Structure 1
Amino acid sequence: MTLGLLLTLAALAIVDSTSFGTLGIPVFLLLTSDRSRTSRLLIYLATLAGFYFLVGVALMLGLSTVMDRFGDALHSRPAYMVQLAVGVGLFLLSWRFDPKWRAKRGKPARRFEPRVGGPRVMVLLGLTAGALEVATMVPYLAAIGMMTTSGLAAGQWLPLLAAYVLVMFLPPLALMALRGVAGAWLEPKLEWLRAWLSKHAESAVSWLIAIVGFLLARDAAYYLFFT
């Protein structure tokens, strides 16, 4: 486990923490529920965090099996060339999610505003958000791939994965804590953030894909040209 790997994972986790499921939906829920019902938001966050952790464990175990069979091939020069191509491809693909690109082609912007409900609704919302986002959360999938290719033992990647998921949910937890002590001051800021997230959701996706593409391309370029 190298410092470079830890820094890259930290960067990816921070990027993941700004997704609609980990930040956008919690902000909407904070604004649509009073402080006495924040336990429902915690249920949502716990459900989503548990979902991502279990998905990560499943992926790590599955990818570990692949690495045992094809580890040498995945560390080869052709494999890193494929990774470089994927990274560059993701960077270029990010432009298709840019709202300006969509507007020029007459495609409407997407907006989603969830509403607070009972505990069962919050669990369902968390599972739904996870199921819808996990396939498109390129930073998370990239982090899983990097941990797998690094050959970490289960005693290393399990706490690392747990820490990754925790970092993903630090922003909404911090907002909840801040709301508890400075609710009157924070409410207008949350409303502004809600409006901003709703308006720039597609732009955020574009940036997420671009950042992950850059990180993958940079990692591959390092092994191809500097080792």
Structure 2
Amino acid sequence: MDAALITALFALALIDSTSLGTLFIPIWLLLQPKRVTTSRLLTYLTTIAGFYFVIGIALMMGAASLAQALTGVLDRTTTLYLQLAIGIGLVVLSGYFWLRQRLTDSADKTDRWQTRVADQSSSTRGIAGLALLAGVLELTMMLPYLGAIGMLTTSDIGWSVRILLLSGYALIMIVPALVLFVIRSLVHEQVEPWLERLNKWIGKQADEATVWVPAVVGFLVVYSAAGGLGWVEPL
């Protein structure tokens, strides 16, 4: 198995673990005045991880069908060059965002999400619905995940390995939130101020993600393609 692919997928999964659905909302749940039970937080995290997994399978099937239709038109080398071009395009897009520095009203969006979390955190059904809503709304911003799906589709591996890697990807996405929950459960009083500071920092850095996420994803897509072409050694 391509070590460059594994490295890139792991890095993309770590990026996805810091999104609204996988980290922001879990932190807000942990900061609720009434402690969120283990079952409710696990319901939330398994729901959003399962949502990403199912969407990933559907995307891979669609991409594989398209690749099969293009068999004979595009060989693997051409496909890797196309992946390389897409990665470079993402880096250029990041530079465009940096130059433009769009001013968005992220503070109001953050407040609305925190209100929604407070309203839905009292029941298991509300928690599951919150996870699905976050997953659906993130579909338009899932650059790391789309990059991972593209890499899996263009890689020369079987479907069983693709599904295994996708499962591992979805698991890595929720690990940071699980770690925070365990720490909060063990040392609630000590970790509460730290969670508050982390929450404020996230709110301030939300806009910056529009710049660095495309850049990092683009680099990893380029790195994976270069590894497949034999240009670079795996990290």
Shared fold per TM-score greater than 0.5:
yes
Mapping of 1:59-208 within 5 angstroms? 59-71=59-71, 73=74, 75-77=76-78, 79-95=79-95, 97-98=97-98, 101-103=101-103, 107-110=104-107, 111-112=109-110, 113-114=113-114, 115-116=117-118, 117=120, 118-208=123-213
d(CA) in 1 for partners of 2:187, 2:99: 34
Q: Which residue of 2 aligns with 1:50?
A: 50
Identity of aligned residues (%): 41
Structure 2, unaligned runs of 5 or more: none
2: distance between equivalents of 1:207 and 1:35? 33
Q: Residue in 2 aligned with 1:20?
A: 20
Task: Name the count of aligned residue pairs.
Answer: 223
- Per the normalisation by structure 1, the TM-score is 0.87
CA distance in 2, matches of 1:157, 1:222: 18
Answer yes or no: is the 8 Å Cα contact 2:83–2:225 preserved in 1. yes
Return the TM-score normalized by structure 2.
0.84
Q: Alpha-carbon deviations, 1:40-70, whole Å to 9, x = none?
A: 2222212111100100111122222222232
Given that residues 5 and 224 in structure 2 are in contact (C-alpha distance below 8 angstroms), is that contact kept between their aligned partners in structure 1? no
Contact 2:8 2:224 in 1 (8 A): no
Aligned-pair CA distance for 1:140: 0.8
Over the residues paired in the alignment, what is the CA RMSD in angstroms? 2.4
Tell me the SS of whatever aligns to 2:18: coil
